[in-house]
Amino acid sequence: MVCATRDSVDGIVDYASGLGEAMTELHGVSVELVLQRATGGWSTRALGVDGASEHTVAGLPQAVRGCDALLLHYNPFSWGRRGFAPALVTTLLTLRRRRPELAIGVLFHERYLHMDDVRSTAMGSWQRLQFHGVLRSATAAFASIELWADDLQRQTRVPVAQLPICSNVPDARAHRDAVRGRLGLAPSALAVAAFGGRHPARLTDYIERAANAIAGAGQAVTMLNLGAEPPELRGLDQSAVRVVTPGRLDPSGVAEHLAAADLYLAPFADGVSSRRTTVMAALQHALPVVGTDGSSTDPALRSAREALVLTPAADPGAFVAAALKLASDPGQRARQARAGRRLYETHHDWPVACRVALDGLGAHPRG
């Protein structure tokens, strides 16, 4: 599992670690996490091994010496400032030439910046060239959403698959009652959760409007504003909505707060998609989800109407109305929660991701 990180909190590194640990546990595969930090240093650590220590290495070729396959997790902004990382392309192509037997898989968590203005056009141009260089080095390619997988297959002759993005937190549903008690949530109180950072794609005003509307309808609402650096939600009616913002939590702490919730809000400008680990965590915890349908929304999620309620990304009124309707109907929330959990188990959980990744890499583990 080859990653780069420029932050202390990195969902991609968490996902790579989780996938490697699942491969070890479920299939007996020996997996190492190879990490490049913002300082340029490289390290390796065995996954799925209690007490495994981190070792410094000179670079990627040394880190993967003796490996049969590598899976590179690609987001240009992880690998270089402003997404500029030409050395990565050179290293991968050299590795492909010198070790033709090595399976090189690339999972594209992000591909390149959309070109909307002069700055993004400049950055997007070199990122597109870099993307094609990375893709050229691959013996197998993976994408986190259906749309990208289709695009990739038109751009390469190597096998392409959509690799499920799973929840990065443990399942804490068994702790729901205890956590609600600790948070002071009455049985009749509605806990509404949102999870994530201050990403420009998150439509935080939709969250504020929905929570205010639910409270305005007479329900006691507690807003669980989760994430290491969540938005402040200044538009909430503080006199009607109780806000809990725990800040940075370990994975178990995040999971427990999700388990305490009754409704999950996921408005994104580009729509709910299968690459959103936060949404996957909500489905994992059997939370009824109200999200948006946009340019990145997977057809499979769009058609899963029993599991998610999706409204047009450009229509805040429709989102608020959907959230208000679901908040007022406990029976529908329960039905949707069950369907969402089934969707997660069937298409987005770790056993599914392991099978897709190992099949794409041509690995043949035991089990």
pLDDT in tens, 190-248: 999 999 988 888 999 999 999 999 999 999 999 999 998 899 999 999 999 999 999 99
| Residue stretches of the chain with pLDDT short of 50 | 364-367
Same domain for 99 and 204, yes or no, is no
**149 and 206 both lie in a single domain:** no
Could you tell me if residue 367 is inside a domain?
A: no
Whether 309 and 199 map to the same domain: the answer is yes
Residue 134: name the closest of 82, 71, 81, 59 by CA. Answer: 71
Q: Is the pTM of this model over 0.75?
A: yes
Does the residue 260 lie in any domain?
Answer: yes
Q: Is residue 267 a part of any domain in this protein?
A: yes
Give the pLDDT of residue 363.
61
C-alpha 156/C-alpha 106 separation (Å) is 12
Which pLDDT score is estimated for 267? Answer: 98
Give pLDDT tens digits for 314-324.
999 999 999 99
Counting beta carbons within 10 angstroms of the beta carbon of residue 151, is it exposed (0 to 12), middle (13 to 18) or buried (19 or more)? middle
Euclidean distance between CA atoms 158 and 155, whole angstroms: 9
- Residue 292's domain comprises 173-347
Residue 366 lies in a domain: no
Q: Which residues have a Cβ under 8 Å from the Cβ of 145 and sit 6 or more positions away?
A: 162, 273, 274, 275, 296, 298
CATH code for the domain of 254: 3.40.50.2000
How does DSSP classify residue 219? -
Are residues 290 and 177 located together in one domain of the fold? yes
Q: What is the rounded distance in angstroms from the CA atom of residue 103 to the CA atom of residue 71?
A: 8
Whether residues 186 and 144 share a domain: the answer is: no
pLDDT of residue 39: 81
The answer as to whether 236 is a domain residue is: yes
Tokens 């030409």, residue located = 86
The whole-angstrom separation of Cα 230 and Cα 248 is 9
> What is the pairing mode between strands 190-195 and 160-162?
unpaired
Residue 252 sits in the same domain as residue 316 = yes
Q: Classify burial at 255, counting beta carbons within 10 Å of its beta carbon; exposed 0-12, middle 13-18, buried 19 or more.
A: buried
**Closest residue by Cα to residue 2 from 109, 147, 98, 97:** 109
- 300 and 159, same structural domain? no
Q: What is the pLDDT of residue 197?
A: 86
Q: Is 346 helix (H, G, I), strand (E, B) or coil?
A: helix
- For residue 245, is it within any domain? yes
CB–CB of 23/365 below 8 Å? Answer: yes
Q: Are residues 81 and 189 in the same domain?
A: no
Assess whether 275 and 288 both reside in one domain: yes
Distance CA 29, CA 242 (A): 46
Residue 223 token pair: 């807003």
Answer yes or no: do 337 and 234 share one domain. Answer: yes
Same domain? 36 vs 148: yes
In CATH, what number is assigned to the domain containing residue 28? 3.40.50
What's the order of all strands across the beta sheet hosting 140-143? 54-57, 42-46, 32-37, 2-5, 69-74, 103-108, 140-143, 160-162
What is the secondary structure of 99-137 as a DSSP string? -TTSEEEEEES-------SHHHHHHHHHHHHHHHHHHHH
Residue 9 confidence (pLDDT): 73
Answer yes or no: do 49 and 152 share one domain: yes
Number of folded domains that form the chain: 2
H-only helix segments in 28-117? 60-63, 76-79, 86-98
